[in-house]
A = this chain, B = another copy of it.
Amino acid sequence: MAVYTEVSDAELAAFLGDYDIGEAQSFKGIAEGVENTNYVLTTDKGQYMVTLYEKRVDPRDLPFFLGLMDHLASRGIVCPRPIHGRDGNALRTLAGKPAAVTSFLQGMWPRRTTVQHCGPIGAALAGLHLAGRDFELKRPNALSVAGWRPLYEGCRGKVDAALEREIGAEIDFFEQNWPKDLPSGVIHADLFNDNVFFLNDRLSGLIDFYFACNDFLAYDVAICLNAWCFESDNAFNATKARALLQAYDKVRQLNDDERRLLPLLARGSALRFLLTRLYDWIHTPPDALVKRKDPNEYLMKLRFHRSAASLADYGL
């Protein structure tokens, strides 16, 4: 939610000199993206996004992220397309930070999610999973089950004792029961409403691939169930889930294992966001220019999934 790195006029001019995208006419830091600094750049040739990668992104992951966006865009997924410099490189340096220019996507992320969004989300997610199948680079999911205990340890003693026990029991459970082999591939891993653009009620683009990684495809579906299918009072909306799952299934069919394990994956996904939000809540300095997100929301979601017996509880 903030501009972390200011770019001087001279730095910007030198940076753009390595591209064939014209000269800057406007360059505005935007309040989107918590991990990076993002500018909307307008040149005489069009609009672009300029992203400076801040310390929460590991520079070694950037070839994966940029390569993935290139790969997906070339397969018809509407996502930010990296613009390559004259030397062919998309990953460059600006104001001392790793930086890239991408195409500018039309559309707006929906501030209030409705059932009308859920079908397009399911279809787009399945399309992304299919398009990612032949992407060659790999990136393990650092925030899957193996990453949860370290986050938990970083929160212990700083949260309510009953909550600490509840989370500890969840981690014990998942370390024993996390699935071993489900269909895997590139997942977005963060397809929340602020990462999906709509225009005139149609999905017009997916953004922010900076959590993308290789993992179970159905885990990405589970993340979307959490992100799109609860109401603001944390009540689960089975109509939304049905719309999302049916639309997904039409593009890429979930197999029997995936269907059976979806409640467990959704419960694990809720735990993942509960843990990262709790960790950030505890460790973000109160004067940081970042809005902290409420961990409690994901505790409620986790409990819903734990009580779910089968896909019937998800509207199917």
Closest residue of chain B to A112, judged by CB? B8
Q: Distance (Å) between the CB of A120 and the closest chain B CB? A: 14
Q: Distance (Å) between the CB of A258 and the closest chain B CB? A: 32
Interface contact A289-B112, CB-CB below 8 Å: no
Number of chain A residues whose Cβ lies closer than 8 Å to a Cβ of chain B: 37
Given A1-B3, A1-B289, A111-B9: A30 in contact with B30 (beta carbons within 8 A) = yes
Proximity string of chain A (273-295) to chain B, C-beta cutoff 8 Å, 1 when within and 0 when not: 00000000000001101010000
State which residues 1-31 of A face B: CB under 8 Å: 1-3, 6-10, 12, 23-31
Q: Distance (Å) between the CB of A54 and the closest chain B CB? A: 14
A195 interface hit (Cβ, 8 Å) = no
Q: State in angstroms the CA–CA spacing of A27 and B40 once bound together.
A: 11
Stretch of A72-80, A102-110, A126-134, A215-223 on the interface side: A102-110
Interface contact B26-A108, CB-CB below 8 Å: yes
Closest residue of chain B to A29, judged by CB? B31
**Which residues of B sit under 8 angstroms from A108, Cβ to Cβ?**
9, 12, 24, 26-27
Some 19 contacts from A to B, beta carbons below 8 A apart, are A1-B2, A3-B31, A6-B111, A7-B111, A9-B108, A9-B198, A25-B106, A25-B107, A26-B105, A27-B108, A28-B31, A29-B31, A29-B32, A30-B30, A42-B106, A286-B286, A286-B287, A287-B287, A289-B289
Further contacts, 13 of them, CB under 8 A, given A2-B31, A9-B111, A28-B40: A1-B2, A1-B3, A9-B108, A9-B112, A10-B112, A25-B106, A28-B32, A29-B30, A29-B32, A31-B31, A40-B40, A42-B47, A42-B106
What are the 7 A-B residue pairs with the smallest beta carbon separation, nearest first? A29-B31, A286-B287, A3-B31, A8-B111, A25-B106, A28-B30, A27-B108
